[in-house]
């Protein structure tokens, strides 16, 4: 079973008679600090070139693309994922499954460099990260392809809503929302870096050591007191900086890790839901079932019965 995907609110595809092109038809909303484009493709195509002005955050809404970016292997691009494209970077895109009945649809937010610089400088000045040698910044190409988090998706959805509103003050509103989007993007990239590649950073980043400890003791009682000691921080500072850096609290991260372990265990044919609950670190079956339903959209029993 695929992981639950996080998508902004749906944007209806254009009727065929309103399309200027069947391949990467572009609808644009231009504001002071960014340009929002909605791209739609209604027929199969290969190696379609595209270049955006400014650094751009793109997010797939429908269908499937195959992305060809400079210096890296081609990869599938699916709904619930985002790709950060460098300023004036040339893309080539395949649309292997697009058709009139199944168009692809993608959002692209092109952001002016000065806007990015202002947000990054503000964060580094007022809200520094845990490690001085890793200041706030957009990560490089190795972390350009992301799985959307609920927080990033929510910020993107609000930005789309502001861009499409007729409100006379929308440029002011968009400025604040764009800053939030940039923060959520950097937090999402930080999660990719530390949560998924923590072993490379154990000696250089205190939160990598915290992640390693959580993974090694997932079924045990994990107190914030103990985790803050691993990070060599006070409890209050650890809690505040962890949430600032990753966009979720240590407790929320532990829950998500335990749910990930529960999903792995539920795929084992002989494991009962009650057994999985305990092995994944949950002490209360009802609480486990409620959390699983909240985060995954189905109960543990339903998840276990589904094909993988």
* pLDDT of 294 above 70: yes
Q: What is the mean pLDDT of residues 256-268?
A: 96
163, 131, 160, 211: which is closest to 31 by C-alpha? 163
Output phi, psi for 194, to 5 deg.
-95, -45
Long-range own/partner contacts, residues 261-266 (CB < 8 A, 24 or more apart): 261/218, 262/288, 262/292, 262/300, 263/296, 263/303, 266/300, 266/303, 266/304
Residue with the larger pLDDT of the pair 164 and 181: 181
The pTM (predicted TM-score) of the whole model is 0.90
* pLDDT of 33 above 90: no
CA distance 81 to 67: 12
Please give the share of the chain, as a percent, with pLDDT higher than 90: 82
CA distance 306 to 267: 9
Structure confidence at residue 54 (pLDDT): 83
Structure confidence at residue 1 (pLDDT): 41
Q: What is the mean pLDDT of residues 251-275?
A: 96
Which token pair is 31? 């504001």
Residue found by looking up tokens 């002490």 in the block: 283
pLDDT in tens, 7-32: 888 788 888 889 999 999 999 999 98
As a residue count, the chain comes to 308
Q: What is the mean pLDDT of residues 89-94?
A: 94
Alpha carbons within 13 A on the beta-carbon side of 230: 23
pLDDT in tens, 221-239: 999 999 999 999 999 999 9
Q: Which domains does the chain have, with CATH numbers?
A: 16-195 (2.60.120.280), 199-308 (1.10.10.60)
Please give the share of the chain, as a percent, with pLDDT higher than 70: 98
Structure confidence at residue 21 (pLDDT): 95
* pLDDT of 140 above 90: no
CA distance 60 to 80: 6
Structure confidence at residue 262 (pLDDT): 97
Looking at the DSSP bridge assignments, the partners of residue 94 are 66
* pLDDT of 2 above 80: no
CA distance 187 to 119: 13
pLDDT in tens, 92-132: 999 999 999 999 999 999 998 899 999 999 999 999 999 99
Q: What is the mean pLDDT of residues 138-144?
A: 84
């Amino acid at each position: 079973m695929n992981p639950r995907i996080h998508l902004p609110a749906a944007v209806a595809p254009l009727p065929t008679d309103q399309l200027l092109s069947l391949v990467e038809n572009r609808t644009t909303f231009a504001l002071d600090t960014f340009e929002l484009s909605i791209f739609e493709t209604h027929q199969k195509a290969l190696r379609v070139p595209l270049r955006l002005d400014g650094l751009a955050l793109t997010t797939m809404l429908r269908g499937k693309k195959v992305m060809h970016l400079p210096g890296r292997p081609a990869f599938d691009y699916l709904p619930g994922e985002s790709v950060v494209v460098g300023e004036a970077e040339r893309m080539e895109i395949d649309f292997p499954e697009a058709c009139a009945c199944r168009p692809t649809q993608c959002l692209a937010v092109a952001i002016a460099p000065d806007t990015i610089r202002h947000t990054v400088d503000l964060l580094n000045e007022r809200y520094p990260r845990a490690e001085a040698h890793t200041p706030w910044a957009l990560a490089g190409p190795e972390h350009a392809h992301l799985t959307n988090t609920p927080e990033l998706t929510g910020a993107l959805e609000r930005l789309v809503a502001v861009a499409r509103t007729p409100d006379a003050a929308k440029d002011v509103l968009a400025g604040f929302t764009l800053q939030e989007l940039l923060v959520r993007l950097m937090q999402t990239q930080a999660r990719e870096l530390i949560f998924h590649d923590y072993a490379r950073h154990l000696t250089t980043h205190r939160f990598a050591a915290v992640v390693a400890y959580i993974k090694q003791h997932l079924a045990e009682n994990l107190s914030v007191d103990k985790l803050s000691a691993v990070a060599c921080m006070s409890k209050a500072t650890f809690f505040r900086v962890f949430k600032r850096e990753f966009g979720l609290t240590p407790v929320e991260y532990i829950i998500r890790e335990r749910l990930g372990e529960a999903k792995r265990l539920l795929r084992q044919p002989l494991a009962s839901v009650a057994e999985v609950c305990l092995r994944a670190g949950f002490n209360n079956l009802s609480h486990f079932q409620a959390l699983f339903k909240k985060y995954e959209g189905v109960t543990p029993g339903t998840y276990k019965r589904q094909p993988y």
